């Protein structure tokens, strides 16, 4: 995939960032918390885009979503989702074709996101108890996002479609 700047690449980044914002605006209630699907877009974008573009989609997109809908954790989202996307993208491009290493990168990125939110919640709400209550839901969100994002890119043909469109 072409790495240089182009209007098409900028449009793809903008659309994926908008999808991140949109998917952070609603959730599915689960016992004790909520399940958000913006991680699907973040993981997919990280697998498709360069690390800097992935940081913009993941971090800035999540920041804007929180800014618009629930501002308290917006900086936590910026760094947690931003570094999640950056790590996944780095592994996806450094080890392209080595699926086990790409999956390891997704796992590490998800762990960074869960850790960032757990620590961030403890800071924002001034109590570790709240962050521990939300911990299982962060793990669930990370797992769902990782699984669906990976399958969308590599098994639903999104990677090939994007490569074809960016030529």
Instruction: Please indicate, yes or no, if residue 144 is contained in any of the structural domains.
Output: yes
Q: Which residue has the higher pLDDT, 148 or 25?
A: 148
Decide: residue 71, CB within 10 A, 0-12 exposed, 13-18 middle, 19+ buried.
exposed
* 68 inside domain: yes
Q: Kindly report which listed range (24-33, 61-70, 71-80, 96-105) carries the lowest average pLDDT score.
A: 24-33
Give pLDDT, residue 46: 97
CATH number at residue 50: 1.10.1760.20
Mean pLDDT of 106-119: 95
The proportion of the chain whose per-residue pLDDT surpasses 70, expressed as a percent, equals 96
Give 62-71 contacts, CB < 8 A, sequence gap 24+.
Answer: 62/20, 62/24, 62/38, 64/17, 64/20, 64/21, 65/20, 65/21, 65/22, 65/23, 65/24, 65/25, 65/38, 66/24, 68/21, 68/25, 69/24, 69/25
Residue 1 belongs to some domain of the structure:
no
Structural domain of 153: 7-165
The answer to whether residue 29 is domain-embedded is yes
Q: How many domains does the chain have?
A: 1
């Amino acid at each position: 995939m072409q790495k240089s700047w182009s209007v098409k690449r900028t449009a793809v980044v903008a659309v994926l960032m908008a999808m991140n914002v949109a998917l952070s605006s609603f959730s599915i209630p689960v016992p004790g918390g909520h399940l958000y699907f913006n991680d699907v877009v973040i993981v997919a974008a990280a697998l498709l885009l360069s690390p800097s573009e992935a940081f913009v989609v993941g971090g800035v997109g999540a920041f804007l979503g929180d800014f618009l809908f629930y501002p308290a954790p917006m900086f936590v989202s910026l760094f947690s989702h931003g570094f999640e996307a950056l790590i996944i993208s780095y592994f996806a491009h450094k080890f392209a074709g080595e699926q086990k290493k790409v999956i390891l990168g997704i796992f590490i990125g998800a762990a960074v996101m869960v850790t960032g939110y757990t620590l961030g919640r403890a800071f924002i709400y001034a109590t570790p108890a709240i962050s521990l209550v939300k911990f299982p839901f962060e793990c669930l969100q990370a797992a769902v996002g990782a699984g669906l994002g990976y399958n969308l890119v590599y098994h639903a043909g999104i990677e090939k479609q994007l490569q074809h469109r960016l030529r």
